């Protein structure tokens, strides 16, 4: 395992340089040593960021599910692969070994085949966070079907758009799902969603709750009886390196969702290698990523990355607040979790609750903490570091995207010195560039610009399903020959990167470009503030001025709002400068968020500009009701 595990900072630089000077050689050596191939590649990499086209390990033959499951049977058959923690903490957890996982995946694969699914067919998976979800992904991979997972919190119209875009043949769902104290009728949502989807031939239904749902004769089938009857072995389909493994839709801020296509070999190699190093994974770790498999984080770092390493990965069905705000910490104690990966939105929501929820539990098993999804503000970083990591578990602030397949910028724990709010350094093989508005690359340090990547890495999405032109237009046309991420970033004096927010959210105030993350960071440092979002609104002198939406912590005390406004602005003035002071501050009960927990500044911008008629699609929001209450009190 020559260069698989990076152990110290000099080694990081050494391997990084090697990966840049000779990318082909670097990735080839890694791919050769750690995976099962049925045929080796003819060509390691061919690429062109103008057409754009990227191919890794062309000509190689493999099966990703075999690499994630079968490959471990010789040495890890009785090791827990998936540790299922149900929504209800009194329902027993399930320890699914690699051997059991193998049989469950084979059975599911055989059921799909019986229902007519063949290599290259699309299968939509709309399931709650239960073992069948991970099993379905792997079953598709086993037979070469392309999975398209849709987060089971999306509405029927969002589901319909995704099913019809990629003409899925089969949908796998469940009767209902548990979510905290609620039960959601998923099957009903699917019935509604497939009404205008002629491609769907079969709906396979897992019974998770009471089975009290309507089944349409000839189309809908209970999956359990089919699984029981299916053979527990299923041959793998041998796939080409560049055959699609899955489609995953990312909504973006405008337009119809983009079906990002990830292929087999490069994706597998990249997620396996990043998982191992970015979490400093060791054989006996218990790893828990709290994301949903419906997002890229779940695909890469609940399923494929951990299983490719033979790890034990926790699959959590519930929510952080059920039955109380101690659920995460209780679960860490219960399963002796050593690596914990979550999102800033979850950290902020738990940090505003009493510390007693944390202190009740023994968190001494923890070794590494991770964050993903949004910039983590300084206050949340410290709360996480002090109370969860007890200052000895490094926090990896991992920056990446659905499009990138795996993590691109992140510290390596115990290797890279961390710095709050900084995702720090590019991962091995990643060549970032910051660009100015004229399209020139900014050289040197202490610069801020638009974040691009100059060279392909194995995990990059290859296209948008059915629309290569849009792929080119969205990611490769802003800066010629470079992949444009849509994010802004600052590179500090030692070369560390700080992600400053989406460039669509940049606000120009009196000619100054202001990014959202550093200002929100300053606001959140106020002890009374739980969370905040800033947007621009039209101002006849400054062009734009800043409008802050601020959610306070629930302390029970009645604070004077005018004083709070002054204190918040003082804090911004001290940390960033008077130019960034907010003209308006509205105190709100919550912020509109996407279902993956990202703040929707687009909607807030419209509200701040009193453009209420045209708020765009709010159906993808986690909390659409909050929009009404914010509009009511707009300043």
Applying CB under 6 A, the residues found at the interface with ligand 6R9 are 250, 295-297, 372-375, 397-402, 423, 485-487, 499, 502, 596
Beta bridge partners, 463, equal: 261
| Three-state SS at 22 | coil
Most distant pair of Cα atoms in the chain: their distance: 73
Residue with CB nearest ligand 6R9?
402
Residue 412 C-beta: closest distance to ligand 6R9, Å: 14
Residue 87 vs 345, nearer CB to ligand 6R9 = 345
Copy the structure tokens of residue 394: 């490094």
Residue 402 C-beta: closest distance to ligand 6R9, Å: 3
Residue 57 vs 484, nearer CB to ligand 6R9 = 484
Residue 40 vs 598, nearer CB to ligand 6R9 = 598
> What angle, rounded to 10 degrees, do the helices at 23-34 and 265-278 form?
90
b vs e for 298-310, b when ≥16 Cβ sit within 10 Å of the residue's Cβ?
A: bbbbbbbbbbbbb
Residue 243 vs 397, nearer CB to ligand 6R9 = 397
Residue 126 C-beta: closest distance to ligand 6R9, Å: 18
Residue 311 C-beta: closest distance to ligand 6R9, Å: 19
Kind of pairing, strands 395-397 and 432-435?
A: unpaired
Residue 140 C-beta: closest distance to ligand 6R9, Å: 21
User: By the 8 A CB rule, do 95 and 80 touch?
Assistant: yes
DSSP 383-425: HIIIIISTTTS-EEE-B--GGGSS--B---TTTSPP-TT--BS
Residue with tokens 């010629």: 480
Residue 105 vs 271, nearer CB to ligand 6R9 = 271
Contacts of 472 (CB under 8 A, 6+ apart): 51, 52
Residue 266 C-beta: closest distance to ligand 6R9, Å: 17
Residue 260 C-beta: closest distance to ligand 6R9, Å: 8
How many angstroms separate the CA atoms of 371 and 397, rounded?
5
| Three-state SS at 307 | helix
Residue 130 C-beta: closest distance to ligand 6R9, Å: 22
Residue 54 C-beta: closest distance to ligand 6R9, Å: 18
Half-sphere exposure at residue 194, Cβ-oriented, CA atoms within 13 angstroms: 25
Residue 139 vs 152, nearer CB to ligand 6R9 = 152
- Which among 67, 126, 128 has a CA at the least distance from the CA of 102? 67
How many angstroms separate the CA atoms of 585 and 578, rounded?
15
Residue 128 vs 373, nearer CB to ligand 6R9 = 373
Residue 161 vs 203, nearer CB to ligand 6R9 = 161
Residue 116 vs 252, nearer CB to ligand 6R9 = 252
Residue 346 C-beta: closest distance to ligand 6R9, Å: 13
Contacts of 560 (CB under 8 A, 6+ apart): none
Residue 369 C-beta: closest distance to ligand 6R9, Å: 13
For 509, the enclosing helix (H) or strand (E) is: strand 507-509
Q: How many CB atoms lie within 10 A of CB 35?
A: 19
How many angstroms separate the CA atoms of 105 and 236, rounded?
11
Residue 80 vs 532, nearer CB to ligand 6R9 = 532
How many angstroms separate the CA atoms of 31 and 10, rounded?
23
Residue 314 vs 599, nearer CB to ligand 6R9 = 599
User: By the 8 A CB rule, do 221 and 187 touch?
Assistant: no
Residue 228 C-beta: closest distance to ligand 6R9, Å: 37
Residue 242 vs 403, nearer CB to ligand 6R9 = 403
> What angle, rounded to 10 degrees, do the helices at 156-165 and 186-193 form?
50
Beta bridge partners, 244, equal: 263
Residue 401 C-beta: closest distance to ligand 6R9, Å: 4
Residue 54 vs 396, nearer CB to ligand 6R9 = 396
Kind of pairing, strands 312-316 and 286-289?
A: parallel
Residue 413 C-beta: closest distance to ligand 6R9, Å: 15
Region of residue 602 (left: phi > 0; alpha: psi -120 to 50; beta: else): alpha
- Which among 459, 341, 414, 394 has a CA at the least distance from the CA of 5? 414
Contacts of 197 (CB under 8 A, 6+ apart): 160, 163, 164, 168
Copy the structure tokens of residue 281: 């994974």
Residue 178 vs 246, nearer CB to ligand 6R9 = 246
């Amino acid at each position: 395992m020559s260069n698989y595990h990076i152990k110290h900072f000099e080694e990081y630089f050494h391997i990084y340089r090697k990966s840049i000077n000779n990318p082909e050689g670097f990735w080839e050596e890694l791919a050769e040593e750690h995976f099962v191939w049925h045929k080796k590649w003819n060509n390691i990499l061919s690429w062109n960021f103008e057409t754009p086209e990227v191919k890794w390990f062309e000509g190689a033959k493999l099966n990703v599910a075999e690499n994630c499951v079968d490959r471990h049977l010789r040495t890890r058959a009785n090791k827990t692969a998936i540790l299922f923690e149900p929504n209800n903490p009194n329902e027993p957890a399930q320890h699914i070994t690699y051997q059991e996982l193998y049989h469950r995946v084979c059975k599911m694969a055989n059921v799909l085949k019986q229902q007519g699914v063949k290599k290259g067919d699309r299968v939509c998976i709309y399931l709650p966070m239960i073992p069948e979800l991970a099993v379905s992904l792997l079953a598709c991979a086993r037979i070469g079907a392309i999975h398209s997972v849709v987060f089971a919190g999306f509405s029927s119209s969002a589901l319909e758009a995704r099913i019809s875009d990629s003409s899925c043949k089969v949908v796998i769902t469940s009767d209902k799902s548990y979510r905290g104290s609620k039960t959601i009728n998923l099957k009903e949502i699917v019935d509604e969603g497939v009404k205008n989807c002629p491609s769907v031939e079969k709906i396979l239904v897992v019974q998770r709750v009471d089975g009290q749902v309507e089944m349409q004769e000839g189309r809908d089938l209970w999956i359990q009886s089919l699984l029981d009857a299916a053979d527990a072995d299923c041959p793998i389909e041998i796939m080409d390196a560049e055959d699609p493994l899955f489609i995953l839709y990312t909504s973006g801020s405008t337009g119809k969702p983009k079906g990002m296509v990830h292929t087999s070999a490069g994706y597998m190699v990249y997620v396996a290698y990043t998982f191992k190093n970015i979490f400093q994974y060791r054989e006996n770790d218990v790893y828990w990523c709290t994301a949903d498999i419906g997002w890229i984080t779940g695909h890469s770092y609940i399923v494929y990355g951990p299983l490719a390493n033979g790890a034990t990965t926790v699959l959590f069905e519930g929510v952080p607040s059920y039955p109380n705000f101690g659920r995460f910490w209780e679960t860490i104690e219960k399963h002796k979790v050593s690596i914990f990966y979550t999102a800033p939105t979850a950290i902020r929501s738990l940090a505003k609750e009493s510390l007693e929820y944390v202190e009740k539990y023994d968190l001494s098993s923890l070794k590494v903490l991770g964050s993903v999804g949004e910039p983590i503000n300084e206050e949340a970083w410290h709360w996480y570091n002090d109370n969860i990591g007890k200052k000895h578990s490094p926090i990896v602030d991992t920056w990446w995207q659905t499009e990138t397949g795996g993590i691109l910028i992140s510290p390596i724990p115990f290797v890279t010195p961390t710095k709050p709010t900084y995702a720090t350094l590019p991962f091995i093989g990643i060549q970032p560039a910051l660009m100015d508005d004229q399209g020139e690359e900014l050289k040197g340090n202490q610069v801020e610009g638009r974040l691009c990547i100059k060279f392909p890495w194995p995990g990059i999405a290859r296209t948008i399903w059915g629309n290569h032109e849009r792929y080119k237009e969205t990611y490769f046309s802003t800066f010629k020959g470079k992949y444009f991420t849509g994010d802004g970033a600052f590179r500090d004096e030692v070369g560390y990167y700080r992600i400053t927010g989406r460039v669509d959210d940049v606000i120009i105030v009196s000619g100054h470009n202001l990014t959202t993350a550093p200002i929100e960071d300053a606001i959140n440092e106020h002890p009374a503030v739980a969370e905040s979002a800033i947007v621009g609104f039209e101002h006849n002198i400054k062009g734009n001025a800043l409008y802050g939406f601020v959610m306070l912590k629930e302390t029970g005390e009645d604070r004077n709002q005018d004083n709070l406004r002054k204190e918040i602005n003082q804090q911004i003035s001290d940390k960033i400068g008077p130019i960034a002071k907010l003209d308006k501050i509205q105190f709100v009960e919550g912020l509109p968020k996407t279902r993956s927990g990202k703040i929707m500044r687009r909607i807030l911008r419209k509200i701040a500009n009193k453009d209420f008629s045209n708020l765009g699609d709010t159906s993808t929001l986690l909390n659409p009701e909050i929009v009404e209450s914010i509009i009511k009190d707009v300043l």
